[in-house]
Each structure stands twice: as structure tokens, then as C-alpha cells.
Amino acid sequence: MTGKILHEAENSFLGLEENRSYWAAGRVLGGSDWDFTDYNGKAQLGFLQTQIFPKRVLEEIRFSYLGVSKKENLDIAINSFVTKVKLNDNVATGVYYIRNNRKYFVRAKKEVILSAGTVKSPQILMLSGIGPKKHLEDMDIPVVADLPVGENLQDHIFFGLHSKINKSIGLTQESFKSFSSLISYQLFGTGPLTSSGVEATAFMKIGEKKKENLYPDLQIALFSVILNYNGLKLNNKVRDNYERFVEDVDGFTFSIINTHPKSRGHIRLRTNDPF
């Protein structure tokens, strides 16, 4: 597995030279922490091209392993919005969902697997009556089970540093939208449209506890694009400072991510409307 991943790392969009440049720079600063490794393997510490499925999220089209399955016992309802899990005697028996402005119910023969992410999973559970009793009562939701759903929320906070470069090897809007990029993607599955932007990543340990175990303190993500933060809710001062450096030019973003934050939060409903 590791050998296969390392081979694919050398065949990324930016190519071996640029990924080796990231790696070589990290070796100067991080030493052996930047050895090539499979960070989803036995030991996470080290450096590798970011592991992604080699199809870009293009025009909001999502490509998944389920999407290519041909099993006769699998139905995939795309563009469906789950609103609630139905429970009988504390047992999940089915799921309500909205599709094409119509409400549907699908009954489970055996079980319901809820896998909707960090935000949507607790939302669906609370809308279904599973959550903190007082909060559900405040939302006028009948309580099925008084459980600490939505508690212990943890996030891996990051900040990015931008830099322009004087070589045309980065990702820009022009490179994404060019005719040659579209042809490369459609015919060969190559080019800028196959890139996630995050070309390489490293997991490192810092400080006095550096040699105690194999669990990293920091993740460093190397984006081969100058990120903009239009989709993030930033206060005006922070946004203004970032936007001063955001241009559609060749460059990269050096992002430092805390993998073990001490802060904890929670998720609560604003309303009992699933939308």
C-alpha cells in the first residue's frame, strides 16, 4: 500500500519536482520528521502528497466509491435531504427525507447507519428526539432519549500564510478555466482539474515531548494556490488583513493545523426546522 501511494505521490499534478521541493525544504527545517511516509499507515509522522481520490470535485459533482458500485441491492438517492430518523421503542426503523420537494420515508429491514458528519449527524439526532432533554424541550421536540448529543465538539484550527512565486507552477483561476485544462481532464483525467489544491502535507511533533510517542502535534498542509477565505466567517479586521494578500496569481499557502486542541465546544439547534 505504501509503495503504491508513494508512486502516486510522484505522479501528482504539480509533479515530482515541486513535491520534492516541498519535501526538501521541510527536511532542512524538520529533519527526519519529513521523511516520506504513508500518514494513513502504521506511523503518521512524516511527509507525503495529500491522499485524495483522483477525481476533482468539478462543478459540485461528487464522485464516490458508492457512485461506481453496480450492486443490485444498492439504491443511491442523490439530491436527498434527510430530516429525521424514525424511532419505535428506542429502535431506529427508518428515515424521512426530502427529494425534489417531496417528502419520503424509507423503512429499514435491519438497521439505520447515520453518517452525516460532525455537524449534520448531531442535528439529525436532535431533530429525531435524541439529545439533551432541556434543549430538545426548548425546541419543542419530543424527547426520545436524554443523551449528550452535540457535546465535546473539537476542531483542528488552522491559519494560512501566503506567498507569491515567480514560476508558473501554481494553481490559478486562469489555469482552472483554460481550454487546455478542460481537455486534459476530459480526455486523460490529468491537469489542474484533478488537483485538490492541497498538494502535500506533513505531520510533525514539537517541543519537549517530541520523542515520547508517534502522535503528531501539528499538521502542515501545503496548498499550491493562494487561498481566499470568502466562505469563512471572519471578523472584518482579520478578513481585511487576509484579503490584502489574496490575488489570482501563482503562489502557495502554508497552513499550520493544531491536531490536539484543548478547547471544546458544542452544537445546538437554532430551530426545529431541519433546513
| Residues 43, 54: Cα–Cα separation, whole Å | 23
Q: How much of the chain exceeds pLDDT 70, in percent?
A: 73
Residue range of the domain that includes 39: 2-51+157-258
Mean pLDDT across 22-33 = 74
Q: Please check whether residue 13 lies inside any domain of the structure.
A: yes
Predicted pLDDT at 231: 65
Q: Which residues pair with 131 in a beta bridge?
A: 146
Assign residue 122 the CATH number of its domain: 3.50.50.60
> What is the per-residue DSSP string for 97-147?
EEETTEEEEEE-SS------HHHHHHHHHHHTTEE-HHHHHHTT---SEE-
Looking at the fold, whether 15 and 108 belong to one and the same domain comes out as no
Residues 45 and 181 in one domain: yes
- Which region among 47-56, 241-250, 251-260 has the lowest average model confidence (pLDDT)? 47-56
Amino acid at 114: L
E-strand ranges in the chain read 46-49, 80-88, 91-99, 102-107, 130-131, 145-146, 158-164, 198-204, 218-223, 251-258
58 is a domain residue: no
The amino acid at 68: V
- Digit-coded pLDDT (tens) for 187-226: 776 776 666 667 788 888 876 665 666 678 888 888 877 7
> 168 and 142, same structural domain?
no
pLDDT(254) > 90 = no
- pLDDT tens by residue, 67-79: 555 667 778 888 9
228 and 93 within one domain: no
Residue 28 pLDDT level (bands cut at 50, 70, 90): confident
Domain end position, chosen among 146, 180, 195: 146
Pair 42, 77 in one domain: no
Which has the higher per-residue pLDDT, 264 or 51?
Answer: 264
**Identity of the amino acid at 55:** K
